[in-house]
């Protein structure tokens, strides 16, 4: 449920990794380098191509990120922000590897950021910011009131951008083969994981104005078009409670490294 546009500044936190510098003393050489992360993951959106995301070495796009500071940018990208999914969609990454990628990109755009795993104080600051960011997102998730939009209305205005054509591997609308493994996982799991951010899908599909109820209706609508017998979860308080419980567990899981 992504809508990729020019607002993906934090998405650049995995984008501009191609310039490979030497590893500072004290860094773990067993970890993936920023260049490796870029080539295996980030190039899909931030390399050459039509997706409107900041590209390698774009100093103008990176300037506001660098101004935010290394701990903040690393932590927010790790948790997921705007149209960037948690860990950039690479859930096998460690926080140290992710942090290297961010630092490497920033250096390519003029920052003097070090490898975070060579600085225990910096890593501690990143982890503290991760927890603060999770708490902030959880509070925001509870504060957005249900706008009453139907699942179909949300799909047409938000989700169609990626799910119509299967952008970045999104399950295509009405495609039973794409949706079957998701349907098998269960309504509360897929709804909660999509809400928090899943693979290439950013939190709330990249739309912070959505309520959990509206998002859940959209997921149910799309699954139904692919053969599921899922109900409107907002009419079932027990199902909504399961979605919220799964959401909290998923945020905790993503915060761990």
Angle at 220 between CA 217 and CA 226, to 5 degrees: 145
At residue 255, the pLDDT reads 65
At residue 221, the pLDDT reads 96
At residue 27, the pLDDT reads 53
pLDDT tens column, 236-256 = 999 999 999 998 888 788 666
At residue 23, the pLDDT reads 39
Domains and CATH numbers, the chain: 10-141 (1.10.760.10), 144-255 (1.10.760.10)
In this prediction, residue 206 has a pLDDT band, given cuts at 50, 70 and 90, of confident
Contact 82, 202 (CB under 8 A): yes
Residue with the bigger pLDDT between 167 and 19: it is 167
At residue 182, the pLDDT reads 95
Q: Which residue do the tokens 């990454």 mark?
A: 93
> 58, 59, 55, 29: which is closest to 44 by C-alpha?
55
CA 154 – CA 245 distance, rounded (Å) = 23
At residue 257, the pLDDT reads 57
CA 74 – CA 65 distance, rounded (Å) = 10
CA 42 – CA 89 distance, rounded (Å) = 9
> 239, 158, 248: which is closest to 204 by C-alpha?
158
In this prediction, residue 8 has a pLDDT band, given cuts at 50, 70 and 90, of very low
CA 97 – CA 30 distance, rounded (Å) = 10
């Amino acid at each position: 449920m992504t809508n990729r546009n020019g607002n993906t500044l934090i998405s650049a936190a995995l984008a501009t990794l191609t310039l490979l510098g030497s590893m500072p003393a004290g860094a773990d050489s067993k970890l993936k380098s920023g260049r490796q992360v870029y080539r295996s993951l980030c190039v899909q959106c931030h390399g050459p191509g039509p997706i409107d995301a900041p590209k390698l070495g774009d100093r103008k796009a990176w300037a506001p990120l660098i101004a935010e500071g290394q701990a903040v940018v690393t932590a927010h990208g790790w948790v997921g922000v705007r149209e960037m999914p948690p860990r950039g969609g690479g859930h096998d990454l460690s926080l140290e590897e992710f942090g290297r990628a961010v630092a490497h990109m920033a250096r390519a755009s003029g920052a003097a950021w070090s490898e975070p795993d060579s600085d225990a104080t910096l890593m501690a600051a990143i982890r503290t910011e991760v927890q603060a960011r999770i708490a902030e997102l959880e509070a925001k998730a509870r504060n957005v009131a249900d706008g009453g939009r139907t699942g179909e209305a949300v799909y047409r205005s938000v989700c169609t951008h990626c799910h119509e054509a299967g952008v970045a591997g999104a399950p295509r609308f009405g495609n039973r083969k794409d949706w079957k493994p998701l349907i098998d996982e269960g309504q509360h799991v897929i709804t909660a994981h999509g809400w928090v951010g899943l693979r290439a899908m950013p939190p709330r599909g990249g739309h912070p104005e959505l309520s959990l109820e509206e998002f859940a209706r959209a997921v149910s609508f799309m699954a139904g078009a692919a053969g599921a017998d899922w109900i409107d979860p907002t009419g079932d308080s027990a199902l909504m409670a399961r979605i919220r419980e799964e959401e909290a567990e998923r945020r905790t899981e993503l915060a761990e490294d």
